[in-house]
Each structure stands twice: as structure tokens, then as C-alpha cells.
Amino acid sequence: MEDKEIKALISLLDDDDKQVVSHVEEKILSLGKEVIPYLEKEWETSFNPTLQSRIEEIIHTLQYDLLKNRLIEWYRAPDKDLLTAMWLLATYQYPDLELEKLRQELEQIYYETWLEFRPDLYPIDQIKVVNSVLFNKLKFGANTKNFHSPGNSMINVVLETRKGNPITLCVIYMLVAQKLKLPVQGVNLPNLFILTYKDNHNNQFYINAFNRGLIFSKQDIENYINELHLVPQNSFFEPCDSLEIVRRALRNLIMSFEKMGEHAKAEEVKLLLVEISDGGDLGV
């Protein structure tokens, strides 16, 4: 379809006949994401709030469909890159966000940490160096004042504000630690996502990124599980994969939107979770 035809089609969104508008919307949606720049230009030059509202809805639908397709593609890929998935999650609110921008920001954090890092240190001392850079020098920390803000689940927002929820802080910590060749992975603990350092020499301990990298033991987790009156499971102590992390991040986002009263957004994110779920694990 030529530029003139696309522009003419978009102008018909202003029609008073609902059937005409419905037909036009279907046709525009069938054109896919390539039509978004035309819609944005029309929105900018229009003074009609009804037309602007219709354009906003179409753009959101196109961007949401793109996100869903990309997430399904990620889910089906053998190499489930964690940063890619966290970028996709963030594009729900920030559709223009570029993955490369996130990579560069994490590269800078890695570089800052690498400058102070020494591979010859004992594992716990290595982690203390990472903690010092992330939490003292770079001022990352828990967003306790606005815990339920959806931004806490958006890695771009957390990189910018240095404040986040347990899972996003853990993801940033883990990506930096792994780039330093440290065996740090996520652990799906109930109510609190944490990290574990686990190497091939029987060294294993845990890290709470939500509490400035506090280091603790397996016994501490057992005590925590007892306090919650839960039956201990292996998954409370051992590393989880990227898919589990992304599912949990989506559940957090759903809960945030529900707490904020944004139920339509919560429902849309639930549908994203369904796309990467095996069934039976949709509980927030």
C-alpha cells in the first residue's frame, strides 16, 4: 500500500459511521507495525480528540501484538537470553526502548565493577566487591517507598532510578556477576527473589540484592521457610532458569497493575504470561 493510500485510510478513522471506523481499524491493523509512524504523524497533526483516541488504541494494539509475538519467539528459542526478555517486558510500557541501550548501560556497570574486582579473592570477598560497587558506589537499592510501582519491574527504569524490586535488582546483579565469570544465579524463593553463588567446589551461599547484597546461608532460608509455614522444596534453595525469572517478573507486574487499579493492563500482562506458561503456574 502506498503512502497516499495509508494516509487516506487513516483519515477515515474520523468518520461518524461506526461500521466504517471498525472496517478501517481492521484494515490498518492488518498492515502491521510498519503503519505506526503514519499513525503517530496523524496523531501529532490532529486536533480531534476522538481521532487521537482511536489512533492511540490502534498503536497500542499493534505494539502489544508485536511484543506478544516477540515473547513467543523468545519462549520457543533454545537460548533464552534473560536481558532480551526483560527488555521485552519493559517494552510493554516503553515500546520505543532499544535493547542495545540496555546492553550499553549494563556494560558500563560491569566495567565499574571490573575495575575493583579481583579474581583471586575468595568467593564471599568477590561478592563483597560487587556489593560495594552496586550498592555503595552506584547507589542501587530497594524501592521500599513505592514498592508496587510498575516501574520496579521495568529494567530500564531501575537502571535509571537505581531503585527496584527484588527480581529486577537480582537480574541486574546477576547479569553483571555472570559477566565477571561468577557462578551467580537466581533462586525462586517464595515472597522474595534472591541469588545464589554456587560453584563446582561445593561453595554455595545466598545473596539478597533487595537488602544491599546481604550474604546468608541455607540455614537462614530454612528458618525463613519455617516462618512462612511452608514445606521446604528444592526450588527454594537451587538456581532457577531464565524462563522462571521472566514468569515471576510478569507476575510481579500483574500484581503492580492490580494494586494501582490498572486492571486492563493487568489483564494484558496476564495474557503475555499465558503465552510462556506450561499451564498451572499462573498464580501471582
278 pLDDT band, cuts 50/70/90, is confident
Cα 283 versus chain centre, distance: 18
Q: Cα–Cα distance between 4 and 198 in angstroms, integer?
A: 60
For residues 132-153, give the mean pLDDT: 96
Among 1.20.1420, 1.10.1740, 1.25.40, 1.25.10, name the CATH number for the domain at 3-76: 1.25.10
Q: Do the Cβ atoms of 33 and 63 come closer than 8 Å?
A: yes
The per-residue pLDDT for 19 is 93
pLDDT digits 0-9 by tens, 68-111: 999 999 999 999 999 999 999 999 999 999 999 999 999 999 99
Rounded mean pLDDT, 230-242: 96
Give domain limits for the chain: 3-76, 82-275
Distance of alpha carbon 1 from alpha carbon 30, whole angstroms: 11
Confidence at 11, pLDDT banded by 50, 70, 90:
confident
Which residue would you say has higher pLDDT here, 16 or 219?
Answer: 219
Pairing of strands 184-187, 163-164: unpaired
